[in-house]
Amino acid sequence: MTHRPHDEPLRAVRPHPEPGWDRAPEPGEVDPAVLAALLRRHGWQRRGGAAGRYGRWTPPGPGGSGTSLLVPESRAFPDSDDLLGEALQALTRSGTPSAREVLVGLAVPSDEIRWWRDTPEGAAGPAGATPWTVEEQLRGAARQMLLAGALATRARAGYYGARHRRAAAALLDQVLVGSGAGGRRLTAFVPARPARPLAVRLHQALYAVREAIDYQRATGGMDAFDGAVEAGASRELTDALIALVRGTEGARVAVEWAPAAGVPEGCAAGAEPVEFSPGDLPVLREAGARYLREEPAVAVRITGTVVRLRRSGPRGEGSVRLRVLAGAEVPNVRLTLDEEDYRIAGQAHLVGLPVRVQGRLESRGGFRRLTGACGVVPVQVDDAERDRLMKSLQEHLDFFEEACGGEYGGD
């Protein structure tokens, strides 16, 4: 049995902001309270200032060395815009990594998802350099976890396989990733609009998995993992956590809400990071296997275009591959058809028509196979869509001729 790797390439989570994100917002667009909250979140320290008027903020680090900022506490004073403008300009010019993160949070209100990995001493390379594999493991685990959260915004399932992946990957297109810190820390910026459901679902799912692990350790039972599915837990999430924790002394994940957007309903403000340790790995593996084993097949009626036909001879049953247009949240399915249904699928393919077929989408193989497929019928489409399908047929005609063994080929 083969399954699609959970860390396979997706539509990439952007490693750097697109043009426009790096430009500091105008002073009139910035709420002083939001700026102060972001500075505090990213380790800046308030060190005095005129009470009730402005605060002096210094960057993180020993002694708070480096550029300091004067940030007004409100817009009640005439020089507020001037102070904000100077603070934004100083952040733009600052070489402090946290300054860039503050600017990203100001440019587009974003919930921040943070990962920390406690790697063993000696894992770093010469002069503090990070081995490529360590950095890749952190980024890969973070990407898997974001995908698991995005999948949970589409539906609740213990195992998704190929289902909902296109929509989930599209949601990840909204996410930006900050620079890492030696393979030990990484931050993702999730725009509160429109991607906040991803951050909310991941926040709730992580706490549900943590509670389920603690319950299993206390009672020996795995029942809590079943209830965690409703909160967004899945095999995809347990696999992401395994990838995050493996090879470390422990790992943490935290979700911090965009100050400009407030705390979403049902979530806690200032919640502590959720911690996982190597001792959790056996339970996570067992939970993942349980989710995969118990996710049921789904009865579906799929409409799709035939993109591949194959059988061993000119007669009998054959295998077909469909590109799904409607009826299931997967890109493609494979199915085996009897001789009559195979003939209908071949004829529909020749004239550029999709087909409709019913069966059961099996979890084995990642919801890519339709079993008990029957009732194949062509589906009428408008002329423009028919022309497009016929063009696709011409581009893949070699597949069809190979499949039919000359039955529908020739002149």
pLDDT range class, residue 93, cuts 50, 70, 90: confident
- Pairwise pLDDT comparison (17 vs 277), residue with the higher score: 277
Cα–Cα distance, 197 to 232 (Å, whole number): 11
Is the distance from CB of 73 to CB of 52 less than 8 angstroms?
yes
Q: How many residues in the chain?
A: 411
Using alpha carbons only, what angle is made at residue 93 by residues 91 and 95, rounded to the nearest 5 degrees?
85
Summary mean pLDDT of the chain: 85
- Pairwise pLDDT comparison (44 vs 78), residue with the higher score: 44
Considering the entire predicted model, what is its pTM?
Answer: 0.81
Quote helix, strand, coil % in the chain, to nearest 5.
40, 20, 35
Please tell me what DSSP assigns to residue 396.
T
pLDDT range class, residue 181, cuts 50, 70, 90: low
- Pairwise pLDDT comparison (116 vs 1), residue with the higher score: 116
Q: Once rounded to an integer, what is the mean pLDDT over residues 198-215?
A: 97
| Integer CA distances (angstroms), 403 to 78, 312, 318, 344, in order | 78, 8, 9, 14
Tokens standing for residue 318: 């054959």
Please state which of the ranges 98-102, 155-159, 209-213, 353-357 shows the lowest mean pLDDT: 98-102
Whether the per-residue pLDDT at 163 is higher than 60: the answer is: yes
Q: Once rounded to an integer, what is the mean pLDDT over residues 177-198?
A: 86
pLDDT at residue 16, rounded to an integer: 40
Q: Once rounded to an integer, what is the mean pLDDT over residues 322-346?
A: 95
In the chain, how long is the greatest CA-to-CA distance?
89
Whether the per-residue pLDDT at 388 is higher than 70: the answer is: no
* Alpha carbon distance, N-terminus to C-terminus of the chain: 41
Cα–Cα distance, 268 to 25 (Å, whole number): 29
Name the most confidently modeled range: 32-46, 231-245, 308-322. 231-245
